[in-house]
C-alpha cells in the first residue's frame, strides 16, 4: 500500500450520490439554501490529513465516520475541461477513506470535523488506463472483517468526466492534485481498536487502524 502524501491538494465532494440526495429530500429545499445544489460542493483535505495505516481519534472523540471513495489523480494542469475529453487529464485512480467526525449538518463547512490530523488515508495509485469500467466499480467498506457498507459508482449524480468538467469550469486543478468522486453522508462508524478496510476490485485493499487519542501519551 502506498502511504505517501500526494504532491498536490486533495479536494473532497459531497452530495454527489443519489442515495444521499434521496435521503435528504425536502431538507435541501428549505432555508438557508432553498434548493438542491446546482454545482459541485467541494471541501479540502489539507496536508495534515494525508495519512498512512493508522488514524488517531481526535481528543474527546469516541467514533469517526469512514467514507469510501475513489480519487482522480490529475496528471496535468486542467482548466475549463470539456466533458467529452476531461478524463484525458487524469493520470491515475487512488482509493481513499475520507474519515470525519459525525456531523448531521450539510449547511456549514465542517472544518473541525473533516480536517483533523490523519483523516485522509489513501491507497496506492493505479494508472487510469489500467482500470476498465470506472463507473461500474463497487466500493466495499469492512470493519473488523465485516462488510458494513457497499456502494457503486453508478450512483454518482455527476460521473467522473462531468464532475471534472464542472469543477475545472470555476477553478484550475494542478498536476498532482486529487479530486475525489464524493462520499455518502452518514457513513459507517469505527472506534478505537477497530480495523477498517476499503476493497475495490482491481485495487490493492486500503487497510487502516483506528487508534485512541491516548495511544501516544495524549490525554483524550
Residue 117 lies in a domain: yes
Look at residue 113 and tell me if it is in a domain: yes
For residue 220, what pLDDT is reported? 41
* Residue 220 belongs to some domain of the structure: no
Q: Are 136 and 153 in contact (CB under 8 A)?
A: yes
Residue 184, domain member (yes or no): yes
* Number of domains comprising the chain: 1
Residue that wins the pLDDT comparison between 95 and 38 = 95
Question: Cβ contacts of residue 157 below 8 Å, gap of 6+?
Answer: 15, 16, 17, 18, 21
> Which H helix or E strand runs over 25?
none
| Range in 24-33, 73-82, 120-129 the model is least confident about | 24-33
In a domain, 2, yes or no: no
pLDDT category, 35, cuts 50, 70, 90?
confident
The predicted pLDDT at position 5 comes to: 52
Q: Cα separation of 92 and 74, whole Å? A: 7
Q: Does 190 reside within a domain?
A: yes
Q: Give the domain extent around 31.
A: 10-214
Q: Is residue 3 part of a domain?
A: no
For the stretch 128-185, pLDDT in tens is 999 989 999 999 999 999 999 999 999 999 999 999 999 999 999 999 999 999 999 8
**Per-residue model confidence (pLDDT) at position 108:** 63
pLDDT at 117 over 50: yes
CA distance 142 to 207: 9
Domain CATH for 118: 3.90.850.10
**pTM above the 0.95 mark?**
no
Taking residues 58-70, what's their average pLDDT?
95
Angle of CA points 53, 59, 62, to nearest 5°? 75
Confirm whether 155 is domain-assigned. Answer: yes
pLDDT higher than threshold 80 for residue 202: yes
Per residue in 66-106, pLDDT (tens digit) is 999 999 999 999 999 999 999 999 999 999 999 999 987 66
Return the top range by mean pLDDT from 1-15, 27-41, 121-135. Answer: 121-135
Q: Give the Cα separation of 91 and 72 in Å (integer).
A: 8
Amino acid at each position: 500500500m502506498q502511504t505517501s502524501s500526494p504532491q498536490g491538494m486533495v479536494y473532497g465532494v459531497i452530495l454527489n450520490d443519489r442515495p444521499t440526495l434521496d435521503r435528504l429530500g425536502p431538507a435541501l429545499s428549505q432555508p438557508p439554501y432553498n434548493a438542491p445544489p446546482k454545482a459541485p460542493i467541494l471541501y479540502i483535505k489539507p496536508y495534515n490529513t494525508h495519512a498512512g495505516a493508522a488514524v488517531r481519534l481526535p481528543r474527546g472523540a469516541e467514533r469517526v465516520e469512514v467514507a469510501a471513495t475513489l480519487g482522480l489523480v490529475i496528471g496535468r494542469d486542467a482548466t475549463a475541461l470539456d466533458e467529452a475529453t476531461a478524463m484525458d487529464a487524469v493520470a491515475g485512480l487512488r482509493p481513499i477513506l475520507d474519515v470525519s467526525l459525525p456531523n448531521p449538518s450539510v449547511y456549514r463547512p465542517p472544518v473541525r470535523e473533516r480536517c483533523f490530523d490523519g483523516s485522509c488515508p489513501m491507497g496506492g495509485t493505479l494508472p487510469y488506463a489500467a482500470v476498465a469500467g470506472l463507473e461500474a466499480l463497487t466500493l466495499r467498506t469492512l470493519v473488523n472483517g465485516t462488510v458494513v457498507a457497499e456502494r457503486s459508482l453508478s450512483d454518482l449524480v455527476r460521473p467522473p468526466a462531468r464532475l471534472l468538467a464542472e469543477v475545472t469550469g470555476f477553478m484550475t486543478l494542478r498536476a498532482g492534485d486529487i479530486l475525489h468522486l464524493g462520499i455518502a453522508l452518514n457513513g459507517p462508524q469505527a472506534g478505537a481498536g477497530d480495523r477498517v478496510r476499503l476493497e475495490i476490485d482491481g485495487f490493492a485493499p486500503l487497510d487502516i487502524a483506528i487508534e485512541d487519542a491516548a495511544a501516544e501519551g495524549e490525554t483524550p
